[in-house]
Each structure stands twice: as C-alpha cells, then as structure tokens.
Amino acid sequence: MKTLKDAKVGQTLTVVRLNGTGPLKRRIMDMGITKGTEVYIRKVAPLGDPIETTVRGYELSIRRADAEMIEVE
C-alpha cells in the first residue's frame, strides 16, 4: 500500500486510511488529514525531511516517519 512517505513533490493524493493509534494519529487527524482528504505535496525540506503539504487550504509540514502512517492513493 502506498503511503504519504513515498509521495513525490507535485502529486495530489487522497487519504485512504490512517494507521497507528494514540496522540500521533489524533494529532494528524486534528490537523485535518482524515479519510478522503486531498493532500498536495508541495516540497521537501533542504535536508530531505520533513515534507511540506497543502491540506484543506493551508500548509502543513510532517516528518516522513509520521507520513508513513498515512495510506494514500
């Protein structure tokens, strides 16, 4: 299954599923990444991590390790 971690800059993806539990998952959802949300990959930080995305009309940065929990298509 493809996750947000492997996404390429410039892609727009749809969230299929969120894995994991507890504070991290809740935080990701609280920030607006829920099932069916469109996520646009804007850029990657100069050192390769984290990545910057556009979600629900604003900019959100997320570490690759955390992005792995987000299944997309």
Partner 1 sequence: MSVKIALAGNPNSGKTTMFNDLTGSNQRVGNWPGVTVEKKEGRLKGRSDVIIQDLPGIYSLSPYTLEEVVARSYLVGEKPDAIINIVDGTNIERNLYLTTQLIELGIPTVVAVNMIDVVRKNGDVIDLKKLGSALGCEVVATSALKGEGSKEAAARAAALAEEKRGLSAPSVFEGSVEHAIAHIEESIEGLVEPRFLRWYAIKLFERDGKVMEELHLDRALADHIEEHIADCEEELDDDSESIITNQRYAYIAKVVSQAVKKKHTGRKMSVSDKIDRIVTNRILALPIFVAIMAGVYYISIGSVGDWTVGFMNDTLFGEWITGGLTALFEGWNVAPWLSGLVIEGIVGGVGAVLGFVPQMLILFLLLSILEDVGYMARVAFIMDRIFRKFGLSGKSFIPMLIGSGCGVPGVMASRTIENERDRRMTIMTTCFIPCGAKLPIIGMISGAFFDNAWWVATSAYFVGVAAIIVSGIILKKLRAFAGDAAPFVMELPPYHSPAASNVLRATWERGWSFIKRAGTLILLSAVVIWFLQAFGVTSAGFGMVEDNNDSLLAAIGGAVAFIFAPLGFGIWQATVGVVGGLVAKENLVTIMAVCYGFAEVGETGEEIWGILNTTFTPIAGYSFMVFNLLCAPCFAAMGAIKREMNSPKWTVGAIGYMCGFAYLVSLMIYQFGGLITGELSFGLGTVAAIVVLAGLLYMLLRKNRYSEYGGELSVNAAKKDVKVNA
What does the binding site for partner 1 look like in residue numbers (CB under 8 A)? 18, 21-32, 34-35, 37, 40, 43-50, 52, 54-63, 66
Residue that the structure tokens 């069916």 belong to: 36
CB of 54 to partner 1, least distance (A): 7
- Closest-CA residue to 27 (of 69, 57, 59, 58): 69
CA distance 52 to 73: 18
* Residue 32 CB, nearest approach to partner 1 (Å): 5
Least distance to partner 1, CB of residue 48, Å: 7
